[in-house]
Amino acid sequence: ALLGRVPNRTPATLPGYVRRRIKERVYPALYPDPGSQVDGEVLSGMSRRELAVLDWFEDEAYTLTKVDVTFDEGSEWEPGESSEPVDAYLDPKVVMAYVFTSPRDLHGEWDYEEFRQVHLESYVVMCEEFAEDVKHNDLPGDDEVDEVE
C-alpha cells in the first residue's frame, strides 16, 4: 500500500535488537537490545524514490542504521554490485534498518498476530492515504537514480 508494490523480500534475523510496542501506536519499533534478535525480512530492489518514501514515512522518530543480519538457511539474497563508491544508503550490499530513538515511548512486546487481526486493515488504509499524499511532492524521482538492490 505504501509503495504501490511489494519489493523483493528475503527472510533474515537481526541480532542485537528487539521489536517493541510504541505507546499509542499499532506498529512496532526496532530498538537495540544485545541479548535479543528480531526475525524479519530484508527488502531489496527498491528505487531511490521508494527509499525516500520510506524515509519520509518513518520520520524523525527513527534513525536509518547500518545493521548486520543473518540470512535464513536456503534464502537467496542477491545484494547486487556497486561498481563505484556510494554512501551506505544506496549501496546494494549494505542492509539498513529504521531504529527507534525514543526508549521512553516503548512498552512491551509487539504482537504480529494481534496487529494482523485487529489493526492491519486500518493500517493499510493509513499507508494508502500517506502514499497518495506523497505522490506529487518533490521526493527524488525514479529517473534520478537507477533501481537500488
Grouping H, G, I as helix, E, B as strand and the rest as coil, residue 112 is helix
Dist. CA 31–CA 5, nearest whole Å? 27
Residue 34 burial (C-beta neighbours within 10 Å; 0-12, 13-18, 19+): exposed
Residue 58 annotated to the active site: yes
- Catalytic position from the list 24, 50, 58, 60: 58
Active site residues: 58
